Structure 1
């Protein structure tokens, strides 16, 4: 496969942006977690772990991308051609199998549910998330559209189960949340649905008419956007809920210090 200079640099720059976004988010979550009430601190720490893992894996993805293509001068101009080292898609799936289950645990942790309910939801939603990633991988590495469609459909089954649990079972726990954050926690469920929907859409790129370099670029850029939204942006949203609940617990704003009080 041959990539134009702009195609290669678009993907490379997207990976670079994602590394920066994940790294900055990780520092923010870890450094601000001590301000969060212990009851909700786990949610922020899990957010930090998610983006730290994603930052590491995107460094590996970035390096693999640059190893997989070499700048070559041809009769038609300067292009990037494949080298003997193939681009390693496994890094992305290794990241997802670790981080995607943690994303639902972020939401469960910030809700501070009763321990038996939290454990049950964590195991079921986390297990379904792992199964979703495992079922998607065979199609990802296949060049046959029939195989991709098969595993896309199979991976959607646990995805739909996750959505069902988020939109039904978690609804019964919303009434026990503080009124000030009840709406935001409810929306967090839909935020998972919205951000996670980018993944199956990007997965479809080679199956809906895109091919060769165009399909590869659409896939890599689509997945990167999905990761930034689902991990860094969602983590910031979870942090805002945890911060508000902490203020309700302590009766003061997190950033307020008596020596600076007016």
Structure 2
């Protein structure tokens, strides 16, 4: 339930978190687009998909931000005081679910692409993961907007089933893929597995905040904070790890490319220090 009032501190918390997510998603997307030449062509699709994910998220957070500002207003002088719901306006929680319906399948695509698995295995993974991710989001939304805790419990439980299935498939396949990956990449992929569990696990926790003994404005603000932090971890940090995997695999696949990139990095470093590197 959307609270009827927010204190100044609660309003500022949500306002600043939404601003943080917009900045994080937007500039991560720009970085991933600019970084395309830093990996081999076979891995650029993964970076491009990751940039699209962050771009979609940035757009939706702009919409969420506008919806939040329209939904809560104050008559206090200087805009500092208690915020109440504006007549005829309401915070649109649906923007998050539209975003997730688009971005979660794409997050799975970028992971499968960057691992460069056999085409048959890639197709098998995507056929299993994408429908499950869409089902997870679709089942979560009715519970999100429900006014009844019982309905929220039911749909939360139903959406957990495809959620656990996705994590199981990803963990199993990521573990199997380690032996087929270059040694330099294995540690990063292992960390990616941990990030998947840690960041994706924040979403159900945030979803359950209203059912964990919190109520009113505190529960709503906590839920918004949880979703915002999870989106930064699951999209921005995840995208940067995808970039690191792509770069390390590019170095392992093509020593000449690695040598050229390392030479470029040394040239930049010497230019900054004013020292010339001999040819």
Fold shared by both chains (TM-score > 0.5) = yes
CA contact (8 A) 1:107 1:188 kept: no
TM-score by length of 2: 0.89
Which string of whole-angstrom CA distances, capped at 9 and with x for unpartnered residues, describes residues 53-90 of structure 1?
0000000000000010111349xx93100012110011
Distance in 2 (alpha carbons) for counterparts of 1:147 and 1:198: 21
Consecutive unaligned residues in structure 2, runs of 5 or more:
268-276
2:143–2:153 Cα contact (<8 Å) kept:
yes
8 Å Cα contact 2:22-2:61 kept in structure 1 = yes
Distance 1:178 1:220, change over 3 A: same
Paired with 2:193 and 2:134, the residues of 1 have a C-alpha distance of: 18
- Displacement of 1:258: 9.2
1:44 equivalent in alignment to 2:47 = yes
1:174-216 CA-to-partner distances (Å, cap 9, x unmatched) read 2111111123223312311111000000001111111111111
Greater Rg by CA: 2
Q: How far 1:162 sits from its partner (Å)? A: 0.8
Tell me, in whole angstroms, the C-alpha distance in 1 between the residues paired with 2:189 and 2:174.
10
How many residue pairs match? The answer is 260
Structure 1 equivalent of residue 270 of structure 2: none
- Tell me what 1:55 maps to: 58
1:201 aligned partner? 205
The question of 1:131 aligning with 2:160 is answered no
1:250 to 250, 254, 276: 254
Runs of 4+ in structure 1 deviating by more than 4 angstroms, as ranges, are none
Specify the SS of the correspondent of 1:143. coil
| C-alpha RMSD over aligned residues | 1.8
Matching of residues 1-262 of structure 1 within 5 Å: 1-73=4-76, 78-83=81-86, 84-251=88-255, 252=258, 254=261, 256-257=263-264, 260=267, 262=278
